[in-house]
Amino acid sequence: MPDSSLLLSITTFAYLLCAIFYLSGVVFRVDRMLLAGTFTGLGTLALQTVGLLLRWKESYQLGYGHAPLSNLYESLVFAAWSIMLIYIILEFRSKQRVLGIFPSLFAFLAMSYASYSDQIDSKIQPLVPALKSNWLIAHVVTCFLGYAAFAISFGISIMYLIKKNQTSQATARGPAALLPDLKQLDAFNYQMIFFGFLWLSLGIITGSVWANSAWGTYWSWDPKETWSLITWLIYAALLHARTIKGWRGNRVAWLSVLGFGCVLFTYFGVNFLLSGLHSYAVK
């Protein structure tokens, strides 16, 4: 087994342990568990970074020589890495460890699906002609940083709705009592949405430039392009409603949930249900 595959396999279970620590810390209200989740997340992120760099090196040793961003397996691994990187930064800025439940869970799910799904080939493969471009790294990295921020926003939105429901019933004595107050959750949600929107915008721009160099057109209404635009419009509408109309709370949380549903369809649904110019990225 290549060194990178071993490290990335360990990463899968390490993210599961991280999620267990965060969840246990919230359910049993034990700060040490939350601290263990933070340290496990940091260690796993470092281990995954080494695994990605080794996979990059191994592609050169095989004569392919490309960044580990070229197929569904590698994109899932990078998605997990991006989610945890952005979350760890958010945690250190906010000092709110309880927010780690969903990001660590999403990272584990992405890694486990990448590692153990029969539909996904984890072998290092040569680039198909359409991907042989200097725009590959810029486009994939910007898009997935946006997706990762939206995943964290989705988790925060779920926490907001749970906290709102318990607060309205005056029963916030259980695990939800550890969550930040509604105003803080709403602020964190907005920060992640705005951050993700900026990166997704850059991803669409770099993709358009790449498409023009590869296919001679900036926009072809390919299913992936179309759903990326739909996703962008939903988050643009959310930011507009918050900034101009003063929307807060429930409406923003539900729009974030809807937006992340579009992110998932853009990423998975288009690949498996629709055919187009981006179908090469499925395997």
Dihedral angle at the C-alpha atoms of 54, 56, 58, 60, nearest 10 degrees? Answer: -150
The model carries a pTM of: 0.94
Q: How many CB atoms lie within 10 A of CB 46?
A: 11
Burial class (CB within 10 angstroms; exposed 0-12, middle 13-18, buried 19+) of 158: middle
Tokens standing for residue 116 = 């153990």
Tokens standing for residue 133 = 């471009």
pLDDT at 275: 62
Q: Answer yes or no: are the C-beta atoms of 196 and 232 closer than 8 Å.
A: no
Per-residue pLDDT of the chain (283 residues; tens, 9 = 90+): 568 999 999 999 999 999 999 999 999 999 999 999 999 999 999 999 999 999 999 999 999 999 999 899 999 999 999 999 999 999 999 999 999 999 999 999 999 999 998 889 899 999 888 788 889 999 999 999 999 999 999 999 999 999 998 766 555 566 778 899 999 999 999 999 999 999 999 999 999 998 888 778 888 888 889 999 999 999 999 999 999 988 999 999 999 999 999 999 999 988 887 765 555 454 4
Interatomic CA distance for residues 273 and 253, integer angstroms? 28
154: helix, strand or coil: helix
